[in-house]
Amino acid sequence: MQSTSPLLSNYLGGQWQNGSGTGTALTDPVLGTELVRVDATGLDLVGGFDFARAQGGAALRALSYGQRAALLAAAVKVLQANRDAYYDIATANSGTVKTDSAVDIDGAIFTLSTYAKLGESLGDGHFMRDGEAARLGKDPLFASQHVFTPIRGLALFINAFNFPAWGLWEKAAPALLSGVPVVIKPATATAWLTQRMVQDVVQAGIFPPGALSVVCGSSAGLLDALQPMDMVSFTGSAETAAIIRSHPAVVQHSVRVNIEADSVNSALLLPDAAPGSEAFDLLVKEVAREMTVKSGQKCTAIRRVFVPEASYDAAAAAIAARLAKTTVGNPRNDSVRMGALVNRAQLNSVREGLAYLQTQTEVLFDGAQLTLVDADPALACCVGPTLLGTRQPDAADRAHDTEVFGPVATLMPYRDLPHALALVRRGQGSLVCSLFGADPATLASTALELADSHGRVHIVSPDVAQLHTGHGNVMPQSLHGGPGRAGGGEELGGLRALNFYHRRSALQASTAVLAAL
């Protein structure tokens, strides 16, 4: 029986076009109904990429940073005008409750708006200086000035399923502000929201043709169409990241690569934060929140929780008590606080991951005991939050090595602070670690100890209890990325994000020539 759901168009080569295949269905993870289809079969990727470089790239580079910032601001207005439609799509396609949809949709708009404001500060320039000029000899007349100029290739974004809105704009905002055209390949499972946002902005006529493209469906052939001056930014699994890094475009043609992969993030309760203290309560609240926001489908979610040995039982009981209040089910029901996993494949993956971790842990809170609200367990891709634990953290290698991409975390005790730091580092590089305590000096020294193995260290003390932005919230002003297992990449961080889309060069010339810049 032929599907009757609409086929989403791709925007490539400055025009909307459909793939030649029947397409892949996107479904409602709660109701199981088919929503739309996506297909990229038969698209002229080489021609489309050439158009983006020659037309989109040239038109963007002709504008100043300030002018490109104005385009970002115009895109913000378009997205704000269509927020209701985006929320409807998120509910249907991602199965998220409104507060979780806001993390994605409003987070995307906020990030784009932030880069629009940052771009204003760069004014009417077309390049950025990198430091001051340095003399190259005894006579100061001949000197070297380092500059950043926009690359003349394109940026290919291969995004993950969990943030179809934010994942699009947190990458595209700094790229477009830099003057680099972008091609977005959203994860197939939730491509609808990405495609709709691109469609709205394209139809508004804000960016030059070729500056913003979207390809929905299979990623086959995308890397083959890259050229030496292009770049690719990927968010997803370590296995796919390895395939990208080994592709001839990267190995032979030095295409620049940014990777964000698996991350087994941590929350650490410092020794001074005993049960009953405000810092202890803040950790309990944040762990439960991070486990349930977007059903734990966040690359920054807390996966490991470390507490002093004497606090283990109290922490287990407190976190379990908060999780027991979680209502799970259909996000259309106002009483539901946690929606679904994105699809059946993800549900199976989480169940398999839980079984794998349970060979070395015990269940401290079983999410399976929660009754689904307004959802059929046989159809809905819902799973309750599950807290695991082990009193033998040194032997629990699976808890340190495995990221179950769902509402799952493992509680572990430590003997002393050096032991805790060693356990955190067992994650082999993470996106973020949160510290909870009250003593500023201990918090500061611990943060510096862990900074080398994390892209971000989030420090929560009682004085910022109502101010901190959250362990898992990625703010555009701060770095997003991490070393080692987390992929070794960097995104955001304010204007630092623009560096990836520029080429640093040294201009060696007379001071008169350098002054003419």
Q: What is the dihedral of CA 167, 172, 178, 182, to 10 degrees?
A: 130
Of 170, 216, 260, 286, the catalytic one is: 260
Of 216, 299, 382, 433, the catalytic one is: 299
Q: Is the Cβ–Cβ distance between 250 and 244 less than 8 Å?
A: yes
Q: What is the dihedral of CA 97, 98, 99, 100, to 10 degrees?
A: 50
Tell me how long the chain is.
517
Q: How far apart are CA 308 and CA 125, in angstroms?
A: 53
- How far does Cα 136 stand from its chain's mean position? 42
SS3 501: helix
Q: Encoding tokens for residue 252? A: 């032979």
Question: What amino acid occupies position 417?
Answer: L
Helices 417-425 and 440-451 pack at an angle, to 10 degrees, of: 30
**Is-catalytic flag, 260?**
yes
- How far does Cα 246 stand from its chain's mean position? 22
Report the chain's terminal Cα–Cα distance, integer Å: 65
Q: Encoding tokens for residue 496? A: 């630092």
| Beta strand ranges found along 216-255 (DSSP E) | 231-235
Q: Is the Cβ–Cβ distance between 211 and 11 less than 8 Å?
A: no
Which of 39, 36, 57 lies closest to 48 in space, CA to CA? 57
**Is-catalytic flag, 299?**
yes
> Which sequence positions are flagged as catalytic?
260, 299
